Structure 1
Amino acid sequence: MTDTGSPATGVSQKGGAGRLRSKRRRRPRNPDGTMPLIEHIYELRKRLLIAVAAIVVGLGFGFFWYGSSLGPIPSLGEILTGPYCDIPPGARLQLGDGDECRLLATGPFEQFMLRLKVAATAGIVMSSPVWLYQLWAFITPGLHKNEKRYGVAFTILAAVLFIGGAILAYVVIVYALEFLLSIGDNVQTTALSGSQYFTFLIQLILIFGVSFEIPLLLAMLNVAGVVSYEALAKSRRGIIMGIFVFAAVASPGQDPFSMLALALAVTLLVEGAIQFARIHDKRKKKSKAEWLDVDDESASTIEAASGIGASGDLGSSGPLERPAPVRTSAPAGGSPATTASPLQAPAAGGSLYDDII
């Protein structure tokens, strides 16, 4: 017969072991946010699993939405093929009966893989608030308390900017395709396959979405104290030049509409981030103590305290008074009492306290 518990405590060994295991699973963190390497690995695994799960859920929803409409909202396939179908029929090959707009498929599995690719992109865009928050939550333990306050705001802004970039790419692609497909329509007609068209569209959406995160990254670095407003203001021309070069290289169509739209939009957002850094540094400087701005090798000024004059005198002081003499008691022999000053030098071989006693 096994002993399942103690009569004094009434707690079973199995329950105690369960509580110990639950305590191990919790892995309490240090208040300062530091953790060993194994804890960082566990934290990274947890954040990755949550982010991947959110993307998979979005992928499943996008796979269903690709071929089915959601009430008044048309299907995802119809929305994405809208820019191509808006091109005049003379600039593209018309497939299907009547006014139907169809893309060309050249392989047996192309339609399935294309639907899966579009659904994955839709899952990444729709689940961006979740995986962006998981990314911030993984970085947060290494930041100070005043820097963690901006976590929710930065996560919301990152999701809004990413989705805004994707919407702008969808708007720009109409003009980009019209320019690219109509530049030689008097000689040839373009017949795009679904893989070519959606690859171009997905690349443009992802490039716009990721590029819109650059201003937010600059703002985050400024809040963390890595980049100051002075450094951003001095490098403004170089940053704008780099943005235009990046837009020219990263744009998949190499057309002027997508390059200019990407460069101008990111430039405006970067200028907004620079102005945010100016306001943040100004507020931070006001709330910081004056002696923190002094160089390590320089001496800081000390304000005059109450009772201390500007010249360092301890107020108004007069001459020191002579202390009153101390009267000693008469000895047993009947000799008269004597007085002694506390400042009087002691007799040889004794001390002032011996004379008083």
Structure 2
Amino acid sequence: MSSDTQSTAGRTAGRQKKKQKNAEGRMPLADHLRELRDRLAISILALLVGTILGFVMHNWVLHQMTGPICNISSLHGVGARTSGCPNGVLVVDGPLGGLSLSFDVSMMLGAIFSSPVWSYQLWAFLAPGLYKKERKYGLSFVGAAVPLFIGGAAIAYWVFPKAIRILLSFVPSGMAQMIQGTDFLSFFIRMVLVFGLSFEIPLLLVALNFIGVLSAAKLRGWWRPIVFIIFVFAAVATPTGDPLTMTVLAVPICVLFFIALGVATIHDRAKAKRRAIEDPDSLLDDDTASSLDLTPSELPSQGPGPVERVSPSDLASDEPMDYHSDDVT
């Protein structure tokens, strides 16, 4: 065999070995680190591109965020009254205040715009280490988590101006109001995150039920304390702390909790039916004896030679029997 043929065969065998190795989900630590480095680089690049795009449109986004507050006619701020903010409530402090505010908004938009890229990179890095069933559950839960978070963020945007109006109503008459632009942005982002992540709590309960940690029977027995904890959590987690915002956050979470309870109940019933078909004794009480399988099984032969069978007449004979090492007794 020539050297070219040997080298070609060696490369082919190496590619087949590498393909088989990757198919089994095994990878050396150095390859894991290189893959992590590449995926982080792609995610950072996508974040930079999204931030540049966000900087282009950050003025429009700021106007959409500040419009509900700046158009409250009963407020009188100390800032300059402009067409974008007629009451002059929002101001920036210092020579770098405007740049800091614009950069923060651009970063927020960049994280949103690049979320499909960095979320896929995270999933592609973790998926090879999961079983097929775990990957299916993971994709299902991610597909449900995204609309839940968006729904919570939309409710936060709807209730935000109403909550601000309630908070600013406590300003004494004859005094002006001033809100720093960076404080307003951090307050708005915190409220959106609280609402969005709170809407993921029922999905977490469903995930715990699917992996067998939490049963639907326990959730049904705990529903009163859970509803109380939801309202306490809403009162503590909302940045405003007013009853309106607390109720707007707590009521949808309670509705989602009961939906999660229904999903968990359906899953547990289907799981019980499958267990009843596969193992009928699984439904028996602890004091009830299970059925025994008395079907005789054949013993495997030892060795390649034929098995010498013993007849009943030989067992009844008084003469000693000659047992060999290959006999099956």
TM-score, normalization by structure 2: 0.73
8 Å contact 1:90–1:185 — kept in the other structure? no
The 1:22/1:176 distance shift into structure 2, 3 A limit, reads farther
Letter in 1 for 2:223: R
**Greater mean deviation of Cα atoms: 173-182 or 45-54:** 45-54
Match in the other structure for 1:300 = 290
Letter in 2 for 1:84: I
Residue 23 of structure 1: how far off its partner (Å): 7.0
Match in the other structure for 1:254 = 241
Higher RCO by CA contacts (8 Å cutoff, separation 6 or greater): 2
Q: Which runs of 5+ in 2 are unaligned?
A: 296-311, 322-329
Letter in 2 for 1:28: N
Residues 310-337 of structure 1: per-residue CA shift (max 9 Å, x gap): xxxxxxxxxxxxxxxxxxxxxxxxxxxx
8 Å contact 2:21–2:27 — kept in the other structure? no
User: In structure 1, the residue corresponding to 2:3 is in which secondary structure?
Assistant: coil
Match in the other structure for 2:104 = 117
User: Considering only aligned residues, what root-mean-square deviation do their CA atoms show, in Å?
Assistant: 4.1
- 1:146 paired with 2:129, answer no
The 1:61/1:233 distance shift into structure 2, 3 A limit, reads farther
Bigger helix share: 2
> Using the alignment, how far apart are the partners of 2:315 and 2:199 within structure 1?
86
Match in the other structure for 1:320 = none
User: In structure 1, the residue corresponding to 2:241 is in which secondary structure?
Assistant: coil
Letter in 2 for 1:11: T
Residue 214 of structure 1: how far off its partner (Å): 1.1
Match in the other structure for 1:236 = 223
Identity of aligned residues (%): 37
TM-score, normalization by structure 1: 0.68
Residue 184 of structure 1: how far off its partner (Å): 3.2
- 1:191 paired with 2:188, answer no
> Using the alignment, how far apart are the partners of 1:267 and 1:224 within structure 2?
22
Residue 286 of structure 1: how far off its partner (Å): 1.4
**Greater mean deviation of Cα atoms: 257-266 or 135-144:** 135-144
Letter in 1 for 2:291: T
Residues 182-201 of structure 1: per-residue CA shift (max 9 Å, x gap): 23352422121211211211
Match in the other structure for 1:82 = 67
Q: Which has the larger radius of gyration?
A: 1
The 1:145/1:107 distance shift into structure 2, 3 A limit, reads same
> Using the alignment, how far apart are the partners of 1:36 and 1:7 within structure 2?
30
Match in the other structure for 1:6 = 3
> Using the alignment, how far apart are the partners of 1:79 and 1:164 within structure 2?
18
8 Å contact 2:53–2:110 — kept in the other structure? yes
- 1:264 paired with 2:256, answer no
- 1:61 paired with 2:30, answer no
Match in the other structure for 2:305 = none
Match in the other structure for 1:317 = none
The 1:98/1:174 distance shift into structure 2, 3 A limit, reads closer
8 Å contact 2:67–2:84 — kept in the other structure? no
8 Å contact 1:136–1:155 — kept in the other structure? no
User: In structure 2, the residue corresponding to 1:281 is in which secondary structure?
Assistant: helix
- State which of 196, 205, 221 in structure 1 corresponds to 2:192: 205
**Greater mean deviation of Cα atoms: 140-149 or 263-272:** 140-149
The 1:295/1:88 distance shift into structure 2, 3 A limit, reads same
Letter in 2 for 1:96: R
User: In structure 1, the residue corresponding to 2:213 is in which secondary structure?
Assistant: coil
Residue 60 of structure 1: how far off its partner (Å): 2.9
> Using the alignment, how far apart are the partners of 2:22 and 2:288 within structure 1?
43
Residue 294 of structure 1: how far off its partner (Å): 5.7
Residue 7 of structure 1: how far off its partner (Å): 4.0
The 1:93/1:6 distance shift into structure 2, 3 A limit, reads same
